[in-house]
Amino acid sequence: MEAISYNRPSLTALLRRHGIAPTHQRLEIAQVLFGRCHHLSADQILARVNEQHAETSKATVYNTLNLFCDRGLIREVIVDPKRVFYDPNTDPHHHLYNVDTGEITDIHAGALSVSGLPELPPGMVTEGVDIIVRMRASSPSVG
Amino acid sequence: MEAISYNRPSLTALLRRHGIAPTHQRLEIAQVLFGRCHHLSADQILARVNEQHAETSKATVYNTLNLFCDRGLIREVIVDPKRVFYDPNTDPHHHLYNVDTGEITDIHAGALSVSGLPELPPGMVTEGVDIIVRMRASSPSVG
DNA sequence: GCACAAATTAGACAAAGTCCAATTATTGAA
DNA sequence: TTCAATAATTGGACTTTGTCTAATTTGTGC
């Protein structure tokens, strides 16, 4: 895994390395993504970026998250039909999803192996394999 | 796999077996789900149900799909952040997702095995393991 | 036919995300 | 620096998916 420090100079370098001009707003967003707990939604990122003083618009947050995804800096996590989460960890790994709380935890891919995947149709290429383990508390009140 | 015929009497029986009163609208929706190609979104189901003559409202389609899910008749498929798809196949299986076209295909679980999944935290229970293989055409114009 | 419960409905509403035209930053060159 | 060109950001309107509610309709047993 690429070691990432969370200070401005190294975030600036990180963006540049991915061909992204390091503007003020992008650095703020990068800091939220890489500096705090993982798996935030666009809305949560918007709120955190503007915690101290409003400085970034909704449009910019969405633009930036899509840009970061396109450039391989972060990854979308699609587990909740209501919103997309963004994962600053781009190493191969999977997710444990707490259906009750919405909490997402990483599962390292190293320990895990999948066999028996079918061949893809000709001309097609795997973009990624997502494994989502959905869990819940064992004795919910619903019988 | 439970064999399901797609005529009214067997759909009626299917609903009753799951404790669901077989109303006209529910039978229409069941027919669309079980009788045609798989993995439809709520919107697609709404359109198909009202193809001939408008007979079912948006609210009923959403109510019914949620009811069918709760009762284990169908399953949600969460692969596209824009909408939920509904899968009439409730046997254990996984999905191949064509990122370019949005097309979803089944992967039978029989042929497939996963090892190395971590233990769940105490008091937690697996609700399901979803595996999504995302694929795309091998040489997209984007370099 | 009557009363009661269950299902359906239109349409208002909410949340996530996109789009656009106008403004503001940033950059490189002179 | 200053200027011009380009790139980024912005508010707000808009779209889409899905939920909610209060009123109506339907169905059931008696």
Note the pLDDT of residue A2.
56
CB A122 within 8 A of CB A80: no
- Fold (topology level) of A8-86: Arc Repressor Mutant, subunit A (1.10.10)
CA–C1' A36–D6 (A) = 33
- Each residue's pLDDT tens digit in chain A (143 positions)? 555 667 888 999 999 999 999 999 999 999 999 997 689 999 999 999 999 888 899 999 999 999 999 999 999 999 999 999 999 999 999 999 998 888 999 999 888 889 999 899 999 999 999 999 999 988 754 43
How do strand A93-98 and strand A124-137 relate by DSSP bridges? parallel
| Residues in CB range of A39: below 8 A, 6 or more apart | A77, A85, A86, A87, A104
- Extract long-range pairs of A81-84: CB within 8 Å, 24+ residues apart: A81/B76, A81/B78, A81/B83, A81/B84, A83/A41, A83/A42, A83/A43, A83/B81, A84/A41, A84/A42, A84/B81
Domain ranges of chain B: 8-86
Nucleotides of D under 7 A from a protein CB: 7-12, 16-21, 27
> Best interface-test mutation with A: which of B85, B93, B136, B139 has the largest number of A CBs within 10 A?
B136
Collapse the DSSP code of B116 into the 3-class scheme (helix H, G, I; strand E, B; otherwise coil) and give the result: coil
DSSP state of B107: E
Note the pLDDT of residue B100.
87
B47 touches chain A (CB under 8 A): no
